[in-house]
Amino acid sequence: MTGWFGIRFGRKRFFLFCQALFILSSMACGMAPNLMFLVFFRVLQGAGGGALVPISQAILMETFPPAQQGMAMALFGVGVMFGPIIGPTLGGYITDNYNWRWVFYINLPVGIVALILGYLLLSDPPYLKRLKAGKLDTFGLAALCVAVGCLQVMLDKGEREDWFNTDWIVYLTLVSLVAFIVFGIYELYYTKEPIVDLRVFKDNNFRVGTFLMFNLGLGLYGGIALIPLYLQSLMGYDAFKAGLATAPGGLATIIAMQIAGNAMRYVDSRLIIGIGLLISAFGYHEMSSFTLDASFATVARYRIVQGFGMGMIFVPLTTTILSYIPKERMGNATGVYNFFRNLGGSIGISIVTTFLSRRGQHHQASLVHHYTPFNLTFSDRWSSISGTLTNLATQAADPLTASKRALGLLYNQLLEQSSMLAFNDCFWMITIDFLCLVPILALLKKGTAEQKPGLLAH
């Protein structure tokens, strides 16, 4: 909805309002007396923060000529990626050593500086002042809220409620699907003043690029959710150490963004995106071979590979998607594009968590067949651990108790191995997702930043 709000209230005014809302709600989150208030203020924080990225992208794409847009988006990416780099590490340190409330308070000084700079430096483009926003499309807005709200609740609660074996999950899915269909038909055919202009999908690059970004969201957000979970649940890392292991990948992304931004002036953007997809796929493929003995350096190394590949993707893909959009539709286009990226991320996290759970159950059922006295390896291991526990007993040795404790230890090992194999399967699934996107690049328009027609000038 950022396009409509930008026209209705002025882009600068709306941008500053969103910044102020984000700052105040962050402070309120830190001061929340209970969970109910925390959730409420988090909703406000999301409402304020949700518009900042698409508005920022629209401003950059309009400010710079086509030949410089790649580099501009690369520099913008430094700011975007600084959060994933410093966030897990700093957030983990604060959580482990101070109070969780400071995770929210830390937004205040940075936000205030950003608010002041925005007020001093930003201005609305002349064309935006000539545009007039129509009346609020209340029906379209209501349909969109119902569709997204039902979908998000379904994605958040589906795994816990056994997905479509639960009636209300099925109902939410149907309501969301119908609401999306109604919303699309109404916005395209029954209103002259849509809250979201879906006609932007008539542009082939935008249509194909958004599809690519949606699927990248599946892999990117799913992978980001998996790696810290693997480190903390199986490797025993605390939040701070897990952040240290993942942070180098963010640095690699920043470096790759600068390389991609410069390369776009001379190299076909499709080639750069393809190389990024292959590098990221290789990183996830190597992660699919992780074990419970993986070292810190090994995890960081392949996180760097994966992060470098992602940096090669985002700048050329975002620039390619938006370069052919006229100025008048830029705010709407960036809002739609970011919506599908985040939607892909939400679905990706749900798919990954479900797949992780189901594959863990599968591997557990497969491995437990080996836990039988007729398996000599298992029998020898059981006897060895039982003997050790018996010898370590400080009181009268109880062979039966030692045998049960040994069996419990072996079963815990089985659970850990089952989970490890499930993580491997998830990383492999993301690898396949990235590889499948490579052929789709052929549907994008060919060209470097120097060769783009510069529709933004019209």
- The single-letter DSSP state of residue 235 is S
- Separation of alpha carbons 14 and 382, rounded Å: 67
Question: pTM for this one?
Answer: 0.78
The tokens 């009181």 sit on which residue? 395
Residues 384, 456: one domain? yes
Helix (H) or strand (E) holding 205: helix 204-233
Does residue 417 sit in the same domain as residue 308?
A: yes
| Secondary structure of residue 99 in the 3-state scheme | coil
- Spell out the per-residue pLDDT of the chain, length 458, in tens: 787 788 788 888 889 999 999 999 999 999 999 999 999 999 999 989 888 888 887 888 777 777 777 777 777 877 776 776 677 667 777 877 788 888 889 889 989 999 999 899 888 877 776 767 667 788 988 999 999 999 989 988 888 888 888 899 999 999 999 999 999 999 888 888 788 888 888 888 888 988 998 888 777 788 888 888 899 888 888 877 887 888 888 888 888 988 988 888 888 889 999 999 999 999 999 999 999 889 999 999 999 999 899 889 888 888 888 877 887 777 788 888 888 888 888 888 888 888 998 899 899 888 887 777 777 776 777 677 776 766 665 444 566 676 777 777 777 888 889 999 999 999 999 999 999 999 999 988 875 555 554 444 33
Does 396 map to a domain? yes
- 299 with 182, same domain? no
Q: Looking at the structure, do residues 326 and 284 belong to the same domain, yes or no?
A: yes
- Closest to 254 measured CA to CA, from 448, 85, 67, 114: 85
28 lies in some domain: no
Within a domain: residue 64? Answer: no
One domain, residues 371 and 341: yes
Last residue of a domain, one of 169, 194, 219: 194
Residues 375 and 406 in one domain: yes
* Residue 412 maps to a domain: yes
For 184, the domain range is 137-194
The DSSP code for 329 is G
Looking at the structure, do residues 227 and 322 belong to the same domain, yes or no?
yes
Q: Are residues 353 and 382 in the same domain?
A: yes
Of the residues 163, 194, 225, the one at which a domain ends: 194
- What is the CB neighbour count within 10 angstroms for residue 134? 13
Residue 113 belongs to some domain of the structure: no
> Is there a single domain that holds both residue 240 and residue 337?
yes
Tell me if residue 183 falls in helix, strand or coil.
helix
Same domain, 161 and 267: no
- The sign of the CA dihedral 451, 452, 457, 458 is positive
Could you tell me if 243 and 143 lie in one domain?
no
Query: Is the residue at 297 inside a domain?
Result: yes
Report yes or no on 31 lying in a domain: no
Whether residues 215 and 282 share a domain: the answer is yes
CB count within 10 Å of CB 394 equals 5
Classify residue 302: in a domain, yes or no: yes
Look at the chain and report how many structural domains it folds into. 2
For tokens 């950003």, name the residue: 114
Distance CA 115, CA 18 (A): 10
